[in-house]
């Protein structure tokens, strides 16, 4: 049988893409998305890429709302955009057939566009391509920027990170360990994840945040040591608990507030914020996109460690483009460990 889209370098191409068809209220539903098959005429000057992995990320939830933010909202009935890696099938500009590329054309099996829409990269031997969407991609750089630049971690300090079994949080834990933190504490949403952090990821302490007394859990996890750095992925009650136990001159890298992304009621207020005054705390929000100058240093440092296994990479792989809405919702719910990616079978 002739493979689908054989000889796609020219002529017509059948593209499968996932659209956002309804803006979610509260938790997204699979029916907010739709798979469309579209026949497109190949433009000879365009680069054509077969997607291999696509990324589902928490920020996408914010873009589904029709309100101003640091990125514009997704358009209804348009394909979901976002990070993906693929292989060039038909080159252009400096891109050759067979090159691996990163791009932001998102939830589709084929991507085409001008050469400038694609960024070539050479995957290091032994590293899975999907890692370039996670540990070695935007989430990994987020961890690097937040921990080392924003929070300015110093050796000997105690670090607490929430969503510690996730893409960003997992990397924060590994980088904190490698940069000399005296104690690395993580929180996660299930006992299975907590055990994973303790048994396999070198966390000194970890706890399940679905508990009655977060401050007490954090106090136990910190073994009496005040917390110097809190890497906040979730906001809400965990941010409040961390502030209670932050050291003098403690720092909070405010990375995300996923506990609030699907909330339909008023946002949770942080009741103990005045503690920041007497303790001289610094709470600093950041966006990874403002820190791309650190990308080369990040890659030079982290890629060899991932290749050598010194930084273990967790990921959850969901198969098939049609499963991307479920993968996205599952990522928000905490179904996976590490970076959630969707594999597009070739």
* Contact flag: residue 211 with ligand NDP (CB under 6 A): no
Rg of the chain's alpha carbons, rounded to an integer?
Answer: 21
Instruction: Quote the CA–CA distance of 294 and 153 in Å, as a whole number.
Output: 16
Least distance (Å) between residue 129 CB and ligand NDP: 18
Least distance (Å) between residue 223 CB and ligand NDP: 22
HEC assignment per residue over 210-233:
CCCCHHHHHHHHCCCCCEEEEEEC
Q: CB-wise, 80 or 163, nearer to ligand NDP?
A: 163
* Contact flag: residue 334 with ligand NDP (CB under 6 A): yes
Least distance (Å) between residue 310 CB and ligand NDP: 20
* Contact flag: residue 176 with ligand NDP (CB under 6 A): no
Q: At a CB cut-off of 8 Å and minimum separation 6, what does 182 contact?
A: 155, 156, 157, 158, 225
* Contact flag: residue 169 with ligand NDP (CB under 6 A): yes
> Contacting ligand NDP (CB under 6 A), which of 20, 255, 283, 313?
255
Q: CB-wise, 79 or 235, nearer to ligand NDP?
A: 235
CB 90 within 8 A of CB 98: no
- Binding string to ligand NDP for residues 108 to 147, with x set by CB under 6 A, is what? -------------------------------x--x-----
Residue 302 parent element (H or E): helix 295-307
Q: Which residues pair with 17 in a beta bridge?
A: 36, 108
* Contact flag: residue 86 with ligand NDP (CB under 6 A): no
Instruction: Quote the CA–CA distance of 63 and 72 in Å, as a whole number.
Output: 7
Instruction: Quote the CA–CA distance of 17 and 15 in Å, as a whole number.
Output: 6
* Contact flag: residue 288 with ligand NDP (CB under 6 A): yes
CB 173 within 8 A of CB 143: no
# chain residues binding ligand NDP, by CB under 6 A: 28
> Contacting ligand NDP (CB under 6 A), which of 40, 76, 223, 287?
287
Q: Tokens representing 281?
A: 């705390």
Residues interacting with ligand NDP, by CB under 6 A?
57-59, 139, 142, 163, 165-169, 188-190, 193, 209, 233-234, 255-256, 258-259, 286-288, 331-332, 334
């Amino acid at each position: 049988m002739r493979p689908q889209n054989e000889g796609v370098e020219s002529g017509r191409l059948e593209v499968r893409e996932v659209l956002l068809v309804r803006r979610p209220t509260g938790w997204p539903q699979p029916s907010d998305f739709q798979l469309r098959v579209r026949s497109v005429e190949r433009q000879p000057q365009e680069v054509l890429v077969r997607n291999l992995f696509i990324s589902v990320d928490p920020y996408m939830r914010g873009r589904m709302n029709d309100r101003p933010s640091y990125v514009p909202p997704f358009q209804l009935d348009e394909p979901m955009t976002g990070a993906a890696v693929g292989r060039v099938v038909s080159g252009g500009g400096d891109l050759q057939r067979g090159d691996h590329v990163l791009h932001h054309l998102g939830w589709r099996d084929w991507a085409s566009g001008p050469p400038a829409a694609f960024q070539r990269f050479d995957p290091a031997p032994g590293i899975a391509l999907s890692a370039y969407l996670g540990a070695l991609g935007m989430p990994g750089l987020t961890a690097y920027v937040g921990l080392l630049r924003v929070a300015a971690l110093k050796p000997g300090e105690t670090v607490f990170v929430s969503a510690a079994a996730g893409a960003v949080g997992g990397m924060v834990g590994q980088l904190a360990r490698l940069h000399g933190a005296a104690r690395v504490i993580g929180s996660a949403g299930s006992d299975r994840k907590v055990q994973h952090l303790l048994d396999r990821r070198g966390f000194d302490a970890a706890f399940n945040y679905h508990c009655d007394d977060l401050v007490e859990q954090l106090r136990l996890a910190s073994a009496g040591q005040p917390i110097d750095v809190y890497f906040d992925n979730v906001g809400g009650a965990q941010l409040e608990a961390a502030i209670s136990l932050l050291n003098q001159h403690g720092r909070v890298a405010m990375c995300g507030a996923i506990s609030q992304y699907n909330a339909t009621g008023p946002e949770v207020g942080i009741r103990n914020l005045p503690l920041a005054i007497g303790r001289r705390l610094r709470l600093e929000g950041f966006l990874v996109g403002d820190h791309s100058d650190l990308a080369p240093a990040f890659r030079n440092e982290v890629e060899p460690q991932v290749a050598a296994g010194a930084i273990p990479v967790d990921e959850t792989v969901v198969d098939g483009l049609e499963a991307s809405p479920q993968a996205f919702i599952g990522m928000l719910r905490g179904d996976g460990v590490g970076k959630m990616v969707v594999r597009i079978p070739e």
